[in-house]
Amino acid sequence: MYRLAIVGRPNVGKSALFNRICKERIAIVDQAEGVTRDRLYGKAEIFGFHFEVIDTGGIDPRSPDQFQREIREQAEIAISEADSLILVVDRQIGPTALDEELARVLLKIGKPLLLAVNKVDQIDQEIDLHAFYGLGIEKMLAVSAAHGFQIAELLEKAWEGFTPKIEREENPAVRLTVIGRPNVGKSTLINAILQENRCVVSPIAGTTRDSVDIPFTYEEKPFTLIDTAGIRRKSAEHEVVDKFAALRTERALERSDVCLLMLDARSGITTQEKRMAKAIEASGKGCILLLNKWDLVKGYRMEHCLKALVEEIPFFAHCPVLTISAKKGRNLNKIFEQVACVSSATQMRISTHQLNVFVERAIQRNHPPMLGGKRLRIYYMTQVGTKPPKFILFVNRPDLMLDSYKRYLINQFREHYGFAGAPIQLYLKPKKLKDRSAQSA
């Protein structure tokens, strides 16, 4: 698939243009400079021509932003990967010395290059384009990323001379969302897995802001890694950018298949991780627990750490746990073995006959307690969905099901069938007497 890279100095509207082309809000857009740091990928289409778009951070060698060197490296990688380039400039400010410097560099690369003069909100403002001819870029167009003015024309010019590639059908990629507190090592883990500096890494908490989707292949199987912003306490979300980053993380969780929940092994579990674990379980996503920075832990046994985690969050008792060091590469090769197990567990199906045999044996081991002279009766069980596995128990009266007995059934179920890392959703449905008699007939 062809790739189109959007580049330019800070705050000219690159992320707004990226979102407009992709027709969804992927990148965070804010008036402050330096919001985008990693390169972002999105899929787009124009008149049946499908391609990938790459958003980059603003390039400014003179900026005091401490991430500027990493931002420039990310932009250079995006430019090398792209088949066509768009340089975005700001009509309201006019051409700057930095615009001229970027234009000279991009022209030397020799790839198809188009100048997008952004923030042209009215047709009569196109007269301001003459000031940008000095940049030496032959193809130029006035656009408004905010209002969608001439976006289709921009893409037509960007892909002039290109013919659509025939894409072969592939298996759907497993989406892995890396989630955790700020500065726990999420971006370091992704860079270690990909063996490249794909995400900007810094000891400063909150470096990652967007949710970054990264397609890659591991042992000939397609995956998409999703790097997310660290989830902060609500009281710590002072900036609008932080609030948008939290929303992006929530959306990344919704569209993931398996979550890699990272914890700092030195500090253990906090209130934020408890909230994340509940969100993962409630959303029905598979979960693998990664205890990062284990190489820095001294004087603690892994068994004691795991016991403490399970006591805090019972859901962790059924999740695979790996002690890793993203920085040193410890146990990273074991992650995808667990991903395969958890992904398979979330898609497992069990026949109704097997489920009913299981229910009968579970009741024989431990009968439901009597409540007010009445006892819960379970007639049969059936599976109604996957991702996550969903089951319905047909009973005489749902109100007779105690939470303790429901936990007993789920624990027995996990002991018998596994479902490692997969939440199990168990629903109760009353079965009418006439339905029971019809089934027995």
Output the domain CATH number for residue 278.
3.40.50.300
Q: What would you report as the CA-atom Rg of the chain, rounded to the nearest whole angstrom?
A: 27
Which pair of structure tokens corresponds to residue 403?
A: 């939470």
Whether pTM exceeds 0.85: no
Helices (H), 110-222: 151-158, 186-194
Same domain membership, residue 320 and residue 199: yes
Domain final residue pick, 346, 362, 388: 346
Domain final residue pick, 132, 158, 184: 158
Domain that includes residue 122, residue range: 2-158
Structural domain includes residue 407: yes
Structural domain includes residue 166: no
Same domain membership, residue 27 and residue 146: yes
Contact 271, 233 (CB under 8 A): yes
Domain final residue pick, 124, 158, 192: 158
Characterize 164-188 residue by residue with b for buried, 16 or more Cβ atoms within 10 angstroms of its Cβ, and e for exposed: eeeeeeeeebbbbbbbbbbbbbbbb
Task: Choose the weakest-confidence range: 69-78, 150-159, 230-239, 337-346.
Answer: 230-239
Contacts of 339 (CB under 8 A, 6+ apart): 174, 176, 223, 258, 288
Same domain membership, residue 270 and residue 218: yes
Which pair of structure tokens corresponds to residue 389?
A: 């596995």
Per-residue pLDDT at 173: 85
- Expressed in angstroms, the distance from the first to the final Cα of the chain is 59
At which residue do the structure tokens 């020799």 appear? 110
pLDDT tens digit sequence for 343-386? 999 999 999 999 999 999 999 999 999 888 899 999 999 998 89
Name the amino acid, one letter, at 60.
Answer: D
Contact 381, 355 (CB under 8 A): yes
Structural domain includes residue 169: no
Sign of the Cα torsion 321, 323, 326, 328 reads negative
Structural domain includes residue 96: yes
Write out 305-347 in H/E/C secondary structure.
Answer: HHHHHHHHCHHHHHCCEEECECCCCECHHHHHHHHHHHHHHHC
Structural domain includes residue 165: no
Same domain membership, residue 145 and residue 28: yes
pLDDT above 50 for 55: yes
pLDDT tens digit sequence for 5-51? 999 888 888 888 998 998 887 655 444 444 444 568 888 888 778 89
Same domain membership, residue 356 and residue 342: no
pLDDT tens digit sequence for 164-217? 765 554 567 899 988 888 888 888 898 888 887 655 444 444 444 445 678 888
Q: Mean pLDDT throughout 257-279?
A: 85
Same domain membership, residue 252 and residue 361: no
Kindly indicate the confidence band of residue 297, based on its pLDDT and cuts at 50, 70 and 90.
confident
- The strand ranges marked E within 298-441 are 321-323, 370-371, 374-375, 378-385, 390-395, 425-430
Which pair of structure tokens corresponds to residue 137?
A: 């870029």
Number of structural domains, the chain?
3
Structural domain includes residue 163: no
